[in-house]
Amino acid sequence: MINIILTKSNTPAEQLSTKLDFEKTLFLDRDVISLEGDNKKSILQAIDRAHSKKQLVIYNATSEDMLRFIVEKTHVDIVMGMEQICEKDSLHFVRGGLDQILCTFAKKTNKTFGFSFADILNSPNRPRIIRRIMFNLSLCQKYKIPVLFNNFSTDISEMRAAKDLAALERVLRKKGSFTLSQR
Buried b (16+ CB within 10 A) or exposed e, 123-156: eeeeebbbbbbbbbbbbbeeeebebbbbbbbeee
CA gap 118, 69 in Å, rounded = 25
Strand partners, 35: 59
Helix (H, G, I), strand (E, B) or coil at 85: coil
Domains of the chain in start order, with CATH, are: 2-173 (3.20.20.140)
Alpha-carbon dihedral 160, 14, 34, 174, rounded to 10 degrees: -20
CA gap 134, 49 in Å, rounded = 34
CA gap 91, 83 in Å, rounded = 16
pLDDT per 10-residue tile (average), the chain, 183 residues = 93 95 94 95 96 96 95 96 89 87 96 96 93 94 95 94 94 66 39
What's the pLDDT score for residue 94? 86
Helix (H, G, I), strand (E, B) or coil at 86: coil
Q: Helix 126-142 to helix 162-173 angle, to the nearest 10 degrees?
A: 70
pTM of the full structure: 0.90
What's the pLDDT score for residue 83? 93
